[in-house]
Chain A
Amino acid sequence: MPEELYDIETTIPSNPIEEFLRMDRMPHIWCPGCGIGTTVNCFVRALQTSGLDLDKVAVVSGIGCTGRVAGYMNLDSFHTTHGRAIPFATGLKLANPELKVVVYSGDGDLTAIGGNHFIHAARRNMDLTVILINNMIYGMTGGQAAPTTPVGATASTTPHGNFEETFNLPFLAESCGAVYVARWTAHHVRHLTKSIKEALAKKGFSFVEILAPCPTLYSRRNKLGDGLDQMEFYRDNSEIKNGADTKTVTLDFQGKITVGKFVDKERPTYIEAMNQHYQKKYGERYVPSDEMRKHFHA
Chain B
Amino acid sequence: MHADPIGVLTGAHFIDGDHACSEGAIAAGCRFVAGYPITPSTEVVERIAERFPFVGGVFIQMEDEIASSIAIQGAVWGGKKAMTVTSGPGFSLMMEHIGLAAMTETPCVFVDVQRAGPSTGLPTMPAQGDMMQARWGSHGDYQIIAIVPNSPQECFDLTIHAFNLSERYRVPVMMMMDECVGHMIERVVIPSADKIEVHNRKVYDGPKESYRAFETGRDLVPSMVKAGDGYRIHVTGLTHDEKGYPDMSVSAQGKLVQRLMDKIRIHTDDIVMYKEEDVEGADVVVVSFGITSRTAIPAIEQAKAKGLKVGHLRLVVVWPFPEKRIRELAGKVKSIVVPELNMGQIVYEVERCAAGKCNVVSVPHAGGTVHQPKDIFAAIEKSLRGT
Q: Do A and B bind each other?
A: yes
Binding site for B on A (CB under 8 A): 22, 25, 55-56, 58, 60, 70-71, 74-81, 84, 87-96, 98-99, 116-117, 120, 274, 278, 282, 285-292
Main secondary structure of the interface of B (DSSP, over half): mixed
Q: Considering the complex, which residues of chain B in the window 33-75 have a beta carbon less than 8 Å from any beta carbon of chain A?
A: 34, 53-58, 60, 62-64, 66-68, 70-75
How distant is the Cα of A81 from the Cα of B98 in the complex, in angstroms? 11
- Our pick among A56, A88, A291 for the contact of B70 (Cβ within 8 Å) is A88
Binding site for A on B (CB under 8 A): 6, 31-32, 34, 53-58, 60, 62-64, 66-68, 70-80, 82, 96-97, 100, 226-238, 245-246
A96 engages B226 (CB within 8 Å): yes
> B233 to A95, Cβ gap below 8 A?
no
Contacts of B76 in A (CB 8 A): 91, 95
Task: Judge whether B63 and A92 touch: CB under 8 Å.
Answer: no
Of the candidates B6, B57, B234, the one whose C-beta lies within 8 Å of that of A70 is: B234
Which of chain B's residues have a CB closer than 8 A to the CB of A79? Answer: 234-238, 246
Decide if B97 touches A81 in the complex (CB within 8 Å). Answer: yes
Residues from chain A with a CB closer than 8 A to the CB of B229 are 55
Cα–Cα distance between A288 and B31 once the two chains are bound (Å): 10
Contacting pair B233 A76 (CB below 8 A): yes
Residues of B within 8 A of A70 (CB): 234, 236
Residue pair A92, B227 in contact (C-beta under 8 Å): yes
**A116–B93 Cα gap in the complex (Å)?**
14
Other contacts beyond A116-B63, A120-B63, A287-B6: 18, CB < 8 A: A55-B232, A71-B246, A79-B235, A80-B73, A80-B100, A80-B237, A90-B62, A90-B67, A91-B70, A91-B76, A91-B82, A92-B75, A93-B74, A94-B78, A96-B228, A116-B64, A285-B54, A288-B56
Q: Is there contact, CB below 8 Å, between A74 and B54?
A: no
Establish whether residues B96 and A81, one from each chain, have CB atoms under 8 Å apart when the complex forms.
yes
User: A92's contact among B67, B74, B96, B231, by CB below 8 Å, is which?
Assistant: B74
Interchain CA distance A287-B226 in the complex, whole Å: 23
**Given A92-B77, A94-B78, CB of A87 within 8 Å of CB of B71:** yes
Q: How far is the CB of A84 from chain B (nearest CB, A)?
A: 5
Q: How far is the CA of A87 from the CA of B68 in the complex (A)?
A: 7
Residue of B whose beta carbon sits closest to that of A92:
B74
- Chain A CB within 10 Å, residue with most, of B32, B78, B79, B226: B78
Whether A289 contacts B237 in the complex (CB less than 8 A), given A25-B245, A80-B70, comes out as: no
Q: Given A92-B77, A94-B60, check contact A99 B228 (CB 8 Å).
A: yes
B55 and A287 contacting across the interface, CB-CB below 8 Å: yes
**Which B residues touch A91, using CB under 8 A?**
32, 34, 70-76, 78, 82
Q: Which residue of B lies closest to A61 (CB)?
A: B236
Report the separation of the CA atoms of residues A22 and B97 in the bound assembly, to the nearest whole angstrom: 27
Q: Which residues of B contact A89 (CB under 8 A)?
A: 74
Q: Give the complex CA separation of A79 and B100 in angstroms.
A: 10
Cβ of A57 to closest chain B Cβ, rounded Å: 9
Closest chain A residue, CB of each to CB of B7: A287
A91 to B68 Cα, complex, angstroms: 9
**Can you report 18 A-B residue pairs in the complex whose CB atoms are below 8 A from each other?**
A58-B228, A60-B74, A71-B234, A76-B77, A76-B233, A79-B237, A81-B97, A84-B66, A87-B71, A90-B60, A91-B76, A92-B75, A94-B75, A116-B63, A120-B62, A120-B67, A287-B53, A289-B57
